[in-house]
């Protein structure tokens, strides 16, 4: 029977799993875009840990700083957690991260997702594409106006 065996093993030893999750959490906090593309099981395992770190960042006591420093791998991540992320999420009670599924990886078919902080700057692909298309059309019109009319 499988009683009391909760949690994600991720087919790794305990030390490897802990190191992997610490690195994922540190990367999300340190990265300017505050998002990370990874597989769905890794994201599901890291999500509660990111939320826990942000809760420590909101607390901003010496004890909380030491707990965060013991888990995060770089001092820069600890500094950003307490100086920027803690105050930014001070009015929010939990749910600091989201998982957005992106499809399957070409090489091995693993399901990919993006683990990101909730208020991270959204990627507006459709708006960006429309803006670039408009710029291309404008450049084409200017090119035609300067040169001769297109041959028919």
CATH number of 14-120: 3.90.1030.10
This prediction has a pTM of 0.77
3-state SS, residue 25: helix
pLDDT, tens digit, for every residue of 46-99? 999 999 999 999 999 999 999 999 999 999 999 999 999 999 999 999 999 999
Q: Which of 51, 105, 58 has the alpha carbon at shortest distance from 83?
A: 58
Domain ranges across the chain:
14-120
Alpha helices in 3-149 (DSSP H): 14-30, 40-59, 62-71, 75-80, 86-88, 125-146
Main-chain dihedrals φ then ψ at residue 112, nearest 5 degrees: -95, 155
């Amino acid at each position: 029977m499988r009683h009391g065996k909760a949690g994600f093993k991720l087919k790794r030893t305990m030390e490897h799993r802990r190191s992997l999750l610490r690195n994922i959490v540190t990367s999300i906090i340190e990265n300017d875009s505050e998002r990370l593309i990874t597989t769905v099981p890794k994201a599901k395992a890291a999500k509660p840990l990111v939320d826990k770190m942000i809760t420590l960042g909101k607390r901003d006591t010496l004890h909380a700083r030491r707990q965060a420093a013991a888990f995060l791998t770089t001092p820069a991540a600890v500094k950003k957690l307490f100086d920027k992320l803690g105050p930014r999420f001070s009015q929010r009670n939990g749910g600091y991260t989201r998982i957005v599924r992106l499809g399957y990886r070409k090489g091995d078919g693993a399901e990919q997702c993006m683990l990101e902080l909730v208020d991270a700057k959204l990627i507006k692909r459709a708006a960006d594409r429309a803006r670039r298309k408009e710029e291309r059309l404008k450049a084409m019109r200017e090119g035609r106006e300067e040169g001769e009319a297109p041959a028919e």
